[in-house]
Amino acid sequence: MIVAALLILAILLAAIRLIIWHRAAGEQASPLRLTLLLLLQPICAGLLLLGLFPPATIGGSGTLRIATAGTPRLAAGGTPLIILPEAGTIPGEAAPDLATALRRHPAANRIEIIGRGLTPRDLDAARSVAVRFAPPQPPKGLTDLAPPVPTAPGASFTAGATLAGLPHATVELLDPAGRITDSATPDPDGHVRLTGTSRTTGTADFTLRVRDGNRTIEQAGVPVVTQDSARPRLLILAGAPGPEVKYLRRWATDAGFAVSTQMSAGGGIQLGDAPVSIDGATLRRFDAVLVDDRSWAALGGGRGALLGAVRDGLGLILRASGPLDGATRGQWQALGFTLKGGNDLAPLALPKPPVVAIARTRQGITDADRPDDMALPDEMLPEVTRLAAAPAGHDTVTLLQDAGGTTLAAWRALGMGRIALFTGVDSYALTLTGHQPLYDQWWRSLLGAVGRPAPAPAHIDGIHWAGERMTLCGLTGDAQAIRPDGSPARLIPVNGCAAFWPANAGWHILRGKDGITPFHVQPAGALPAVRAARDRAATLMLRGDAPATAQGEPRPGPSWPWLLGWLLASALLWGLERSRIGRCQSAL
Amino acid sequence: MSADALRTHWTTPARHRRIADTLALGLPLALAAAAIGWRLAGPAVAGLLAIVVFAVALIVARQRAARHDLPWLIRSLDATRPELEDSSALLFADDAPLSPLQSLQRTRIATRLDQASPHDLTPGWSKRLFLILSVLAVALIAAALLWPRAGEGPPTLAPSDEGLPARPGIPSLVGQNLRIVPPAYTGLPVRDSASLDARVPQGSRLEWTLRFDPQASAPRLLMLAGQPLALRQEGANWIATHTADAAFLYRVDPASRRGATPRLHRVDAIADAPPQVKPLTDSLTMIKPGQRSWTPAFAATDDYGVAATARLRVTLAIGEGENVTFSEREIPVTGTGPARNRRFAPRLDFPTFGFAAGGDMVVQLIVRDNRAPGPQEVRGPSLILRWPSPKQPESSGLTGMVNTTLPAYFRSQRQIIIDIEKLLRQKRTLAPDRTLARSASIGGDQQILRGRYSQFLGGESEGQPELPTADADGHSENDGHDHGPPVSTPNVFGEKEDVLAEFGHPHDESPASSLDPETRAILKQAVDEMWQSERELKTGHPDTALPYAYKALRFIKEVQQATRIFLSRVGPELPPIDASRRMTGKREGLASRQLDITPVKRQDGPAAAAWRALGAGPDAIRGPIDLAPLEGWVRANAGRLPDALALSGAIDAVRRDPACASCRAKLRAQLWTAMERPLGQPARRRPADATGTRYLRAIEGGGS
C-alpha cells in the first residue's frame, strides 16, 4: 500500500506541476493537451501498480499440458505446453521441473501429461493439481529388474527380471568374468529368475543380457553385494552316530560355524564335542540347534527348555533320520507341521544338475584336496529319500522343494525364534556324488532361515540412475557418500533421510556412523524400459488422488500484460509531453 | 581311287601335321601346369594338371585338324596348282552325274594331279608361337621351383605391433617375425608368423627374428616366469630360438628396460592328443553257424598320425561253469588308410587261437601315435565274440533273475515212480496190510508233491480232481475258493469291457503265478494226474496208480521244457530293532569320547584380497596395488586355476600401468575365475524391529 500511496502522491505532484506549467505557458497552452496529460498520469500509475502487484487469479480454465519424455513433436500447439527437460527440444515453454511450471502458472489447477509420465522429481508437485494422463503403450523390453539382496560369501542368489513384448527372448546372466552362469526363457508373464553364485565379500558386477537368437537386445548390470555375517553357533544333536551327522558336522565346520556336536552312542555314552547340558542358559549361547528324531525323543524334559529358547530367538531344525515313531510324529505335529501322508520313506526327486559349462562357472576353483571331477555332478543320482509325509502346515513357510514339487522343508515362527522341519533322509549322499552345491544350498538355506537373527549392515535397495535424485535413509549424524572416483559428498540428513544426486554410474559407498553400505548407480541411459515402466506406473497412480481444493488459494496472476500496458502508456505520455500537438504555434 | 579315298589321301598329311603342331604347342603349357601343381599340391595334382592340359590340347588339335576338309582341299589345290585350272572340285565330286564337258576336264586334270605330293599342302609348324610358349613355360617352371617357401631362407620381417611411442636414442622394435618349426613327426610345415603371439604344437622350435631401430646393444626376450632369453646378432637382425614345451608369456626388451615396457606376448603350446580308438563292430557278437574266422574292425584317429602297426590283445576264455581257462596273447596288426584315420581289421582264424565252442574271445586294440620321443599308447574298448556252448540254453540279460525251480520237484516225482515200481516188485512177498501201508505212505509223498505244484496254480487244485468232462480251465462253482456273489449288474450298452470281472475273477493270488496260460494248463493236468495217482496209492492200488504217476511225470517234463519261472526280486526284510536290548552287554572300557575335527582352511586369500582392492567397494585401492602376494599365489596354485597364464598376463598389465582402468577390469574378471566358492555361510536374518517383536510375541501362543 505504501507503493500505492507513493504513486498517488506522485500523480498529485505531477498534476500540480502540469497545472502550474500550464498557467505559466500563457496563451501557448492548449487545454486539450493538459487534459490528456492529466488523464494519462493516473492510468500509467495504475498500470505500474498492477504490473508490480498483478491481481490474483482464482479458478479459471487453467489446464496445463506437460510434455514429458517421449512426447511427439506434433503435440506442440493448442493450450499452453510446458516442456520438461526430459521431453527434449519441442517448441513450447521450457521449465526445469513441474513445480516451477506450476508456480509460473498459478491459474493452472489441472495438468494433462503427454508422453511417458512424470519422473520421481515431479511427482510431489503433481499431487497438488488434478492430473490427466493417457498412458502410452507399456514399454517393451526389460521392464523390471530385481537385483539380489546382499548375499553371504559363496551363496547362490537369484536375480529376477520381467520382459515385455519379447516372447522368444532368452535371458542370460553373465558373471564378472563374462561367462554365462545361467540362462532361462521367461514364463508366459515375462518373468524370469536367474541364479548365480557369489564368491568372497565385496561388490561384484554381474550382467543380465536379453537375447533374441544371436542378437543381443538389451544388457544391464546386476549389482551383487556380498557381506559377511556374524559367525553362527550351531549345536547338532544326533540320536546315534551316522554318516548324516558326520557330513553335517564336517560341512558346518568347514563353512565356519562354531559347531558343537553331541552324538549319543547309547547307554549314556556321548561322542562328539564336549557335552553341553540342554537348558536355557546353555541354549542362549547357540544360534541354531539341529535335532534328529531320535535325539528329540531322548531329550525328554529338555524339550521344554529347547522350545523356551526358541521363543527367545533360537533357531531349531528338526530332522528325520528315518520313519518317525508315533510319539515324535505327534509332538512335531503339535509344533505346527501337519505331516500329512504315510510314515514310510519315499524317493526324493533330485533336480537335474546344470550343464557342465554352467556348473563350472558356479563352482569356483577346485580345492587342493578335492579333484575337479569330484566337484561336478555324477551321472549317477544318489539315493536320497524323504519322509512320505510333507511338513506343511497352515502357518508354515515352504523353504525347500524337490524337483517333483514336494515340500522338503518348511519353517514357522515360534515366539522370536523359528522352527524348521526337514524331511530329507540321507542327504549326505549328495556330497559323495558331486552334488555338494545342492547339499550346501539345502542346509545353508535351512540355517539361514531359522538361525537366530543377527544385526547386519544396512542395505539400500532399488535401482538408481545417474543424474536422478535418490533418497538415502537411516542416517545418523555425519554421513558421507563416497563417489566411484573416491571423492566424498557430505549428506545433510533431515529426519534421518538425505537426498543424494549421483552424477556418475558405478559403486558408491554410504559411510555412516554404524558402518559402510555400498550401493550401485546405473548409467543414465541404462534400463530405459524399466525407467519408462516406473514413470508410467507412478503417473498412473497419481490420477486417482486429484486434489479437491485445487482452486481454493488465490495465486498471483501474470504481470507482464500490465507492465506492457504501463510501458505503452508511459511511451504515449512521454511522446505527448515532447510533441507539439496542442501547443500554440507562436513562432508561426 | 574313289573320290573319298582321294580326298583322304590329300588331306591326311595336313591333318596329322596340324595335330602334331597343336600338341607340340600344348607340351610346354602342360609342363608349366604340372610344375605349378607340384609346387602347390604335390605330385598327384601335378600329374592330374598335366593330363588335363594335354586333354584340352588334344581337343583343340582335333578341332583344328577338322578344318582341313574338302572345301579347304579344293581351295588349296586351286590356289597352289595352276595346272589344275581351277577345276580340282571336279576330281572330288563323285555323287552328282557330270556333264560331258565336266568329264572331259576331269580326265584332263586327273593326270596332272599326281605331279605333286599331298605333303606339299601340309601347313608349316607354328614356330614363333612355340617359341613364345616355351619361353613362357620355362619362366613359369622356374618361378614355381624357385619361389621362396615359407620357412626357408631369411624371413620377411613384418612391422612391429608393439604400439609404443618411439623415444630418441632408445632402441625400439621395428621388424618382427616368429618362425615356428613344428616337430618333424607332426608333418606340419614350417610357418612364419607376423605376430609374436602364436599357438604352436608342443615341442615346436621357435625362432624370433627381430630388428631394432636404432640398433640395440643387448636386446633380450623377457620370460614372465623364467630366465630371459638373449638374442644374437646376425647382420641387421637379432635372432633367438626356444623350444615351446609349455605355454609362456614374454615380452621383447630392446633396451635393457630403459624404454617403455612393451606388452606381453603369449605362446600357447598345444599338447599332442592321445589317439582315439573307436570300435566299428558291436561290443558283443554272437558266432554264426559255420563261422571259421572273425574280423573285428577298429578306427583309430589322432591329431597328427597313428602308427601303422598296432597290437591286438586277444583273450580267450574257454570252458564252462567253473572250469574256465583264460589265455592271453598279443599279435601285431597293420592298419590301412591315411595316418590320421587308420582302420584296423585283423582277421582272426579260430583254429590258430584254439577257439572252440563254449568260449569267449575278447579283443582289444592297443595303438600308438607317432609322437617323438615317447609315443602315446592307448587301449581301445574290448570287443567280445561269444561262441555259446551247444548244451546250455543261452540266457543273456536275465541271468540271475531266472530261477529254475521245477527240476527239483521233478526228481521227486520220479522217486515216487521208482518207489511204486519197487513196491510192485515186492508186493507178492509182502502182507496185504503192509502193502497197503507202504502204498499209503507213497500216496502221502505224492500228496505233498501235489501240494507243492498246486502252489504254482494258486492252490486251487486242492481238493477234488476234475473229471475229464470238466471245462478246459477247470473252473467251476465248487473249485475250492470263493467266487463272490452272483453278479446282478444290468448290462449297459458299451460297458462290456470288464467281462472278466463280471463272469470270473483272476486266480493269481500266488506269487509265482506269472506262468503263461499253456504252462498253467499243462501243470494243471500234471497235478490232476498226481491226484489220481495219490488216490489209487492211498486206496492200496499202486499198480493202477503207476500210469497216472507216469502221466504226471510226462506233463512235468513238458512244463520243464516249456518255461522258466520268473521271481520278483525283493530286498531283505530285517526284523525291527529291539531298543531294550541295546547296550546290555559288557561295557568295560566304553566311555564318552570327544572326536576332534579340524576345519579346512580357505585358500584363495591373495586372490580375494586383490579382487576387493581392484573393485569399487569399501576395500578398494585406487592407486597402485601390491600384486606380489597374488603373483606368488598364482604361481603356487597354477594347477588349480583354469588359465593361470592369462591371470599372470593380466597381473603384469596392471603392474605395468596401474592407472589403466581396462587392465584393472580385465584382471578383476580373471580373478573371478580364480577364486574359491566358500561353502556354508548363510546370510543371517535381521532382528525384528519393535513392531515386529510385538507382533511375534502376540502370536506366540499360536501353534505350540
Tens digit of each residue's pLDDT (9 = 90 or more) over B351-388 = 888 888 888 889 999 998 888 778 888 888 888 888 87
Distance from CA of B634 to the nearest CA of A (A): 12
pLDDT average, residue stretch A418-435: 89
Distance CA B446, CA B552 (A): 11
Give B245-280 pLDDT, tens digit per residue: 888 888 888 877 777 778 888 888 888 888 889 888
A362 in the same domain as A341: yes
Nearest CA in chain B to A394: B703
Mean pLDDT of chain A: 84
For B642, nearest residue in chain A (alpha carbons): A365
**Are the beta carbons of B703 and A336 separated by less than 8 Å?**
yes
Chain segment B221-238, per-residue pLDDT in tens: 888 877 888 888 888 888
Is the predicted pLDDT of residue B491 greater than 50, yes or no? no
Q: Does domain B158-270 have CATH number 1.10.260?
A: no
Q: Give the pLDDT of residue B402.
A: 43
Q: Where exactly are the structural domains of chain B?
A: 3-146, 158-270, 285-387, 405-478+510-563, 605-674
Residues B679, A440: C-beta atoms closer than 8 Å: yes
CB contact under 8 A, A150 and B703: no
Mean pLDDT of B152-171: 77
Closest CA in chain A for residue B636: A368
CB contact under 8 A, A232 and B618: no
DSSP state of B165: P
Q: Is residue A318 part of a domain?
A: yes
Q: Give A457's contacts in chain B (Cβ within 8 Å).
A: none
H, E, C per residue of B439-457 = HHHHHHHHHHHHHHHHHCC
Best B601, B677, B691, B693 residue to mutate vs chain A (most A CBs within 10 Å)? B677
Q: Is residue A415 part of a domain?
A: yes
CB contact under 8 A, B681 and A255: yes
Q: Which three-class secondary structure state does DSSP give residue A207?
A: strand
**Between chains, do B679 and A176 touch, taking CB under 8 Å as contact?**
no
Chain B residue with the nearest C-alpha to that of A225 = B617
| Residue A42, domain extent | 2-54+559-587
Query: Grid coordinates 516372447 are at which residue?
Result: A167
Q: What angle in degrees, to the nearest 10, is found between the helix axes of A243-254 and A436-450?
A: 80
Q: Could you tell me if A84 and A219 lie in one domain?
A: no
**Dihedral angle sign, alpha carbons of residues B646, B652, B654, B660:** negative
Cβ distance B687 to A518 less than 8 Å, yes or no, reads no
Residue A537 lies in a domain: yes
Q: Is the dihedral of CA B522, B528, B533, B537 positive or negative?
A: positive
- Equal fold, B158-270 vs B285-387: yes
Q: Is residue A390 located within the same domain as residue A303?
A: yes
CATH of the domain at A266: 3.40.50
* pLDDT score of B400 more than 50: no
Residue A448 to chain B, least CA–CA distance (Å): 5
Total of domains in chain A: 5
Contact A200 B604 (CB under 8 A): yes
Is A457 inside a domain boundary?
no
Tell me, yes or no, whether A569 and A545 share the same domain.
no
Average pLDDT over chain B reads: 79
Mutate to test the interface with B, among A365, A374, A440, A445 (most CBs of B within 10 A): A365
Angle value at C-alpha A316, between A396 and A257, nearest 5 degrees = 125
**Which among B586, B592, B689 is the top mutation candidate for probing chain A, defined by the most A β-carbons within 10 Å of its own β-carbon?**
B592
Short-list A372, A367, A371, A306, CA closest to A335: A306
What confidence category does residue B394 fall into, taking pLDDT thresholds of 50, 70 and 90?
very low
CB neighbours of residue A389 within 10 Å: 23
**What global pTM score does this model have?**
0.63
Q: Which residue from A minimizes the CA distance to B697?
A: A415
List of chain A residues whose C-beta atoms are within 8 Å of the C-beta of residue B670: 177
Q: What is the pLDDT of residues A238-280, one digit of tens each?
A: 988 899 999 999 999 988 889 999 998 877 788 888 888 888 8
CA distance B244 to chain A (A): 27
H helix or E strand, kind and range, residue A140: none
CA distance B582 to chain A (A): 7
CB contact under 8 A, A274 and B594: yes
Phi, psi of B604 (to 5 degrees): -115, 30
Provide the CATH number for the domain around residue A160: 2.60.40.10
> Residue A450: which pLDDT band, with cuts at 50, 70 and 90?
very high
Per DSSP, the three-state class of B504 is: coil
Which chain B residues are within 8 Å of A445, Cβ to Cβ?
682
pLDDT, position B515: 66
CATH at residue A479: 2.60.40
- The set of residues, in sequence order, having a beta carbon less than 8 Å from that of A107 and lying 6+ positions away, is A57, A59, A60, A61, A62, A555, A557
Q: Please indicate, yes or no, whether residues A423 and A335 belong to a single structural domain of this protein.
A: yes
Q: Do the chains contact at A201 and B680, CB–CB below 8 Å?
A: no
- Minimum mean pLDDT range among A388-392, A580-584, B79-83: A580-584
The pLDDT score that the predictor gives to residue B501 is: 43
Residues A239 and A327 grouped into a single domain? yes
Nearest CA in chain B to A338: B703
DSSP letter for A352, please.
Answer: P
Q: Do A364 and B642 touch (CB under 8 A)?
A: no
What is residue B652's predicted lDDT score, i.e. its pLDDT?
85
The whole-number pLDDT of residue A247 equals 93
Please tell me whether residue A241 adopts helix, strand or coil conformation.
Answer: coil
Last residue of a domain, one of A168, A202, A228: A228
In a domain, A287, yes or no: yes
Q: Which of B619, B681, B685 sits opposite A202 (nearest CB)?
A: B619
Name which of A151, A177, A271 is nearest B669 (Cβ-Cβ): A177
How would residue A172 be classed by pLDDT, with cut points 50, 70 and 90?
very high
| d(C-alpha B325, C-alpha A307), whole Å | 69
Inspect the interface and report whether the beta carbons of A254 and B673 lie closer than 8 Å: no
Judged on CB neighbours under 10 Å (0-12, 13-18, 19+), B171 is buried
Indicate if the pLDDT at residue B34 is higher than 80. Answer: yes
Question: In this structure, are A498 and A578 located in the same domain?
Answer: no
Tell me how close the Cα of B693 comes to any Cα of chain A, in angstroms: 7
pLDDT tens digit sequence for B133-147: 999 999 998 988 887
Q: To the nearest whole percent, how much of chain A has pLDDT over 70?
A: 91
Residue B632 CA to its chain's centroid (Å): 42
Note every long-range contact of A29-32, with CB atoms under 8 Å and residues 24 or more positions apart, other chains counting: A29/A583, A29/A584, A30/A582, A30/A583, A30/A584, A32/A582
Cβ contacts of A270 on chain B, cutoff 8 Å:
592
CA of A335, closest CA in chain B: separation in Å? Answer: 5
- Report whether B322 contacts B282 (CB < 8 A): no
- The residue among A180, A213, A197, A190 whose CA lies nearest residue A530 is A190
How many A-B residue pairs are in contact by the CB < 8 A criterion? 207
Q: Are residues A294 and A192 in the same domain?
A: no
In the prediction, which pLDDT does B95 show?
63
Residue B672 and residue A177: Cβ atoms within 8 Å?
A: yes
**What's the rounded mean pLDDT across residues B51-80?**
87
Q: Mark whether A446 and A536 lie in a shared domain.
A: no
- B677/A154 Cβ within 8 A: yes
pLDDT the model gives residue A110: 81
pLDDT in tens, B411-454: 478 888 888 888 888 888 888 888 888 888 888 888 888 887 88
- CB atoms B682 and A445 under 8 Å: yes
Q: Is A563 domain-assigned?
A: yes
Does domain B285-387 correspond to CATH entry 2.60.120?
no
Pick from B593, B680, B697: which is nearest to A254 by CB? B680
* B468 vs B644, higher pLDDT: B644
Assess whether A507 and A568 both reside in one domain: no
Angle CA(B601)–CA(B607)–CA(B612) in degrees, nearest 5?
A: 110
Task: For A336, name the nearest residue in chain B, comparing CA atoms only.
Answer: B703
Closest CB to B682 among A177, A267, A444: A444
Taking an 8 Å cut-off on Cβ atoms, the answer to whether A254 and B640 are in contact is no
pLDDT at position B472, please? 39
Q: Do B669 and A176 touch (CB under 8 A)?
A: yes
Instruction: Tell me, yes or no, whether A333 and A192 share the same domain.
Output: no
CB–CB of B675 and A364 under 8 A? Answer: yes
Q: Is residue A458 part of a domain?
A: no
Residue A315: predicted pLDDT:
92
B696, A367: Cβ pair inside 8 Å? Answer: no
Q: Is pLDDT of B478 > 60? A: no
Q: Which of A75-79, A144-148, A227-231 bottoms out in mean pLDDT, i.e. has the lowest?
A: A75-79
Together in a domain, A474 and A327: no
What pLDDT, on a 0 to 100 scale, did the predictor assign at position B96?
64
Contact yes or no for B618 and A518 at CB 8 A: yes
Mutation target to probe the B interface, by most B beta carbons within 10 A, among A158, A174, A200, A514 is A200
User: What pLDDT was estimated at residue B135?
Assistant: 93
- Which site among A254, A306, A321 would you substitute to test the B interface, given the most B Cβ atoms closer than 10 Å to its Cβ? A254
